[in-house]
Structure 1
Amino acid sequence: MPSAPGRNASAPRPGAAVPGLGAEGEIGRLKERYPAHGPSWDGWARVLPGRAPAAIAAMARRLRVLPPGGPATAHGAS
């Protein structure tokens, strides 16, 4: 189906999830729990089913959500 005039066919619909960031509910759950648990928490399988720890850490980086310990331990930094 052709796109509307002046609209890119691959552009996301207004209100649609950002590619790679998941649904709005996933973002909220990540922002709520990541600061307390970090990427290795066993509960992620229940909270964000189908998301690997690496994908969760990448999502947190893009959203600028820090893990426990703050910037010094952010996303695997030593």
Structure 2
Amino acid sequence: GFWKETGRDKAIYSKHDSIGMRKTLVFYKAQAPNGQKSDWIMHEYRLQTHKNGTPQASFTNYYIHITREKEVILLMI
């Protein structure tokens, strides 16, 4: 299978300042481009970068939230 972007990236704000972006991806079963859309959705978050391309912060956190019907699984990496 493969993950495919859906829609546009969404800005994330703290007060009135943009601090990052959120990308939404949907998982498709089988090979691209003929995959079948599944119910799996992933949100990818990234920090805003400076004009020279370097990140505004020097750390990385991963937060994984998996929801299966009524069961929720949270992972912090």
Q: Same fold (TM over 0.5)?
A: no
- TM-score normalized with structure 1 length: 0.24
Which structure's residues are more often helix, by fraction?
A: 1
Q: Indicate the structure whose relative CO is greater, using CA pairs within 8 Å and at least 6 residues apart.
A: 1
- TM-score normalized with structure 2 length: 0.24
